[in-house]
A = this chain, B = another copy of it.
Amino acid sequence: MTNDGLLIVFSGPSGAGKDTVLQKLLESDPNLRLSVSATTRMPRPGEIDGTHYHFLSEASFQELITKDQVLEYAQYCGNFYGTPLAPIQKWNEMGNDVILEIEIQGGAQVMRKRPDCVGIFILPPSLEVLEHRLRKRGTESEEAIQKRLAAAKDEIQKAADYDYVVINDDLADAVQAVAEIIHAEKRKTTRNQDLIERMISPC
């Protein structure tokens, strides 16, 4: 199968458990790298440049945009946030798969720009379970929870734009499902044209 690295777009509503699935996946798959976003906002205490974000000046961020070196970007509260292309390209060329945890709008931008990417959407078992998980956190007001639930409904509708849906009911099952998707994608004929041609061409 192909040795080229995949670009994986990973989304899902708040409470679906994206972070936990992703963390387990990174622990179990040494070939997988996590894309780190760039931002022009100031680092908060404890945030490390290159780990939590690539902290850039607005001029540097604008330069990335001009040079088409961001896969997607958006502006929130006067700051830029986006996905730098260079580290993804570098990892992919080295054969590493890169996973990009991203909200729906950003995911849509990436999937338009990189039709070869693999879109995976993490779903909760049901909206009831999602609500239960959000309440269990105990950190948010009733209003905030209701807002998140309404947003989740809108987001889940966008799952149809992704290639795969994985229900995060049992964590180990969800992690295995994502791993299987990655393995299967590497065996897609469209990613292995070279291999087929090399096999039948005279040396």
A contact set with B: CB distance below 8 Å: 1, 121, 123, 126-127, 153, 156-157, 159-167, 177, 180-181, 183-185, 187-189, 192-193, 195-196, 199-200
List of B residues within 8 angstroms of A162 by Cβ: 189
4 closest cross-chain pairs (CB), A and B: A184-B184, A180-B180, A181-B184, A164-B187
Q: How far is the CA of A1 from the CA of B165 in the complex (A)?
A: 7
Q: A126-B199, A165-B1 are in contact. Are A187 and B183 (CB under 8 A)?
A: no
Q: A184-B184, A189-B121 are in contact. Are A196 and B157 (CB under 8 A)?
A: yes
Question: From A121, which residue of chain B is reached at the shortest CB distance?
Answer: B189
List of B residues within 8 angstroms of A160 by Cβ: 189, 193, 196
Within the complex, what minimum Cβ distance (angstroms) separates A114 from chain B?
Answer: 17
Question: From A124, which residue of chain B is reached at the shortest CB distance?
Answer: B199
Within the complex, what minimum Cβ distance (angstroms) separates A85 from chain B?
Answer: 25
Q: Are A156 and B189 in contact (CB under 8 A)?
A: no
Question: From A118, which residue of chain B is reached at the shortest CB distance?
Answer: B184
Q: Are A187 and B200 in contact (CB under 8 A)?
A: no
Q: Are B188 and A164 in contact (CB under 8 A)?
A: yes
List of B residues within 8 angstroms of A121 by Cβ: 189
Q: Are A156 and B199 in contact (CB under 8 A)?
A: yes
27 contacts between A and B (CB under 8 A): A1-B165, A1-B166, A123-B195, A123-B199, A127-B199, A127-B200, A153-B200, A156-B196, A156-B200, A157-B200, A159-B189, A160-B189, A160-B196, A161-B189, A163-B188, A163-B189, A164-B188, A164-B189, A165-B189, A165-B192, A165-B195, A177-B183, A177-B184, A177-B187, A180-B183, A180-B184, A181-B187
Q: How far is the CA of A156 from the CA of B189 in the complex (A)?
A: 12
Q: How far is the CA of A73 from the CA of B181 in the complex (A)?
A: 33
Q: How far is the CA of A184 from the CA of B163 in the complex (A)?
A: 10
